[in-house]
Amino acid sequence: MTMSLTIERRGQIALVRLGGEIDLSNSMEIRREISACLQDRWDVVVDLAAVGYIDSSGLAGLVEGYQLAKRYGIRFALAAVSPAALRVLKLARLDTVFALFDDVEGALAP
């Protein structure tokens, strides 16, 4: 499966870079990684620039991240959302829920 996931630490922020196709076969892994960062109380920025496809199970992982961050009182943001991912976010009316940034640098800025 052509999904990529990397995590970089930038100060207090975990920058999660996702790429490729996100679906039922790999969304659990993404959920696990994002929750682990949040449970360690890192702010999380998810870079979606290289996402070619994301399904409802992938979105569910992002929603879970949003809810956890809210509970812990920390930041959870999406950055550089690709057109493919934005289309699905809009379908789910989640584009108004998440903090969206045009680029990663904007999301990382204090």
Interface with other proteins (CB under 8 A), residue from 45, 51, 77, 88 = 88
**Strand pairing report for 3-10 and 43-54:** unpaired
Q: Does 59 bind other proteins (CB under 8 A)?
A: yes
- Please tell me the distance from the alpha carbon of residue 51 to that of residue 40, in angstroms, as a whole number: 25
β-bridge mates for residue 44, sequence order: 14, 76
Q: Does 38 bind other proteins (CB under 8 A)?
A: no
Of 2 and 110, the one with the shorter C-beta distance to other proteins is 2
Residue 110 Cβ, how far from other proteins at the closest point, in Å? Answer: 27
* CA distance to 51, 82, 109, per residue, from 68 (Å): 23, 24, 22
- Please tell me the distance from the alpha carbon of residue 105 to that of residue 11, in angstroms, as a whole number: 13
Of 13 and 61, the one with the shorter C-beta distance to other proteins is 61
The CA angle 19-43-20, to the nearest 5 degrees, is: 5
Interface with other proteins (CB under 8 A), residue from 21, 49, 72, 86 = 21
Q: Does 91 bind other proteins (CB under 8 A)?
A: yes
Residues that bind other proteins (CB under 8 A): 1-2, 21, 23-25, 53, 55-57, 59-61, 63-64, 66-67, 84, 87-88, 91-94, 97
